[in-house]
Amino acid sequence: MITTLFFLAALLVGVPIGVCLCLAGMVYIVSIGSPVLFQSFPMQMFGGVDSYGLIAIPLFILIGEIMNSGGITRRLVDLAMAFVGSVKGGLAYVNILANMLVSSIIGSATAQVAIMSQVMVPEMEKQGYDKTFAAGLTVYGGMLGPIIPPSVMFVVYSVLAQVAVGDMLIAGILPGVLLTVLFFVVIALMGFVYNYPRSEKRTLAQRARTVVQASPTLLIPIIIVGSILSGLANPTESAAVGALVSALVGRYVTKEFRFNAMPAILLRSAIYSAIVLFLVAAAAVFSWLLIYGKVPQMVAAWVQTVAHDPVTFLLLTNAILLVIGTVIDGIPGLIMTAPILLPIATEVYHIDPRHFGVVIVVNLVLGLMTPPVGLSFFVASAVTGAKPGKMFIVTLPFFIISCVALVMLSLFPSLSLGLLK
């Protein structure tokens, strides 16, 4: 009880989540009168980040930074425009499709929302779309970032769950495609109610020219995802090659990337990577103390009185995680909940840890789009000036369909595991 109160108080006063976890661990050790555990504290933190799979995180972050500096995002948006053509609500479809393409490179929801809001919202406003709707739609497009590989959240989960990083990344492909298709359906249905403008007509020659000019940028996701799927490279190796290819494409194809910008790019990547990896180290201590205090066993005993089968457990987990995701960011939320819920899912209900990982990640990502916090809406608001609350209301159908997708993923494991051998 003392530890829980201390942890909540530290969170409320704004102490970073990683520091909260470490300090709460220290308070717990003191409260149970076992100072000998302090001897293992540093080793548990070090052991948490002593994983080859985690090397992929800074490399994926580096790819996103290089892509942003190299004008690759703009080319991917142009490519999406060439594919969609002149249809009612064309730019809305382009927004989602472009986000899907960009998410195969970036892997972070908030970073993707920040980048795509700068590109898509002004373009949609110019075509006559409401700014609030355009910004809100971009937020839901950004939801694909942590789901379609490469995904920083899936890499973190794979380390926490001790499953193959490649398996978790592949498991995110079908859920990402499912969400994209469902978002297209919502846009089509909303098009009957709202008079969305048609995107400008382009001749076949113009489209072909755009495809030829933008196609080299697809080398990056093809190399990353293709090498993992084919077994030619593991996620860490594919991320290293992807970083090199993104630099070459930015320098010699889009011609916007400058090698003298690398020091600043490496510094930004290092800072963000350090934040994520410190969270993972803090999570290792948190998990160790949870197991020592037999918390998973106590939670499992309570859950079994409420949920009598795997489906009920997953639906209960959805409700719990959705609430947690509204107030806590994705990776910290994952780090706090996975060590408690994962042993129950695998040992009591015999749920595949990869399937459970997809359910957890999609849940927590959806939390980024849910009030009262809804971090992604605030990121879009900071870039575009649209009001976060109004954004949520005008894009409510996308939230509802995301919840439907979440239930589908819970009920049908094949939607997550279909591409895994």
pLDDT in tens, the chain (421 residues): 677 788 778 877 877 777 888 888 888 888 888 888 888 888 888 887 777 777 877 887 888 788 777 777 777 777 777 777 667 777 888 888 888 877 766 666 777 787 788 878 888 888 888 899 889 999 998 888 788 887 778 888 988 888 888 888 889 989 999 999 999 999 888 887 877 777 677 777 777 887 787 778 778 878 887 887 777 887 788 888 888 888 888 888 888 888 888 898 889 888 888 887 887 788 788 778 877 777 767 777 777 788 888 888 998 888 888 877 776 667 777 887 888 888 888 988 899 999 999 999 999 888 878 776 677 888 888 888 888 888 888 889 999 999 999 999 999 999 999 888 6
Q: Do residues 138 and 278 both lie within one domain?
A: yes
Q: Do residues 178 and 243 both lie within one domain?
A: yes
**From residue 31, how far is each of 42, 269, 418 by CA, in Å?**
19, 38, 47
**From residue 176, how far is each of 96, 149, 170 by CA, in Å?**
11, 9, 10
Query: Which residue's structure tokens are 């996620």?
Result: 235
Query: Which residue's structure tokens are 């996103």?
Result: 64
Q: Do residues 32 and 129 both lie within one domain?
A: no
* 279: nearest Cα among 324, 321, 335: 335
Q: Do residues 155 and 27 both lie within one domain?
A: no
CA atoms within 13 A on the CB side of 58: 16
Question: Residues 6 or more apart from 235 whose CB is under 8 A from it?
Answer: 53, 56, 149, 150, 155, 165, 166, 169, 228
Residue 135 has which token pair? 């910004």
Answer yes or no: are the C-beta atoms of 141 and 98 closer than 8 Å: yes
Domain range for residue 406? 40-417
Residue 360 CA to its chain's centroid (Å): 11
Q: How many domains does the chain have?
A: 2
The Cα–Cα gap between 175 and 404 comes to 12
The Cα–Cα gap between 80 and 94 comes to 5
Q: Do residues 23 and 133 both lie within one domain?
A: no
The Cα–Cα gap between 9 and 242 comes to 42
Q: Do residues 144 and 164 both lie within one domain?
A: yes
Q: Do residues 85 and 160 both lie within one domain?
A: yes
- What is the DSSP secondary structure assignment for residue 344, as one 8-state letter? I
Q: Do residues 4 and 150 both lie within one domain?
A: no
The Cα–Cα gap between 58 and 47 comes to 18
Q: Do residues 239 and 307 both lie within one domain?
A: yes
pTM to 2 decimal places = 0.79
Q: What are the two backbone dihedrals, phi and then psi, of residue 52, each rounded to the nearest 5 degrees?
A: -60, -35
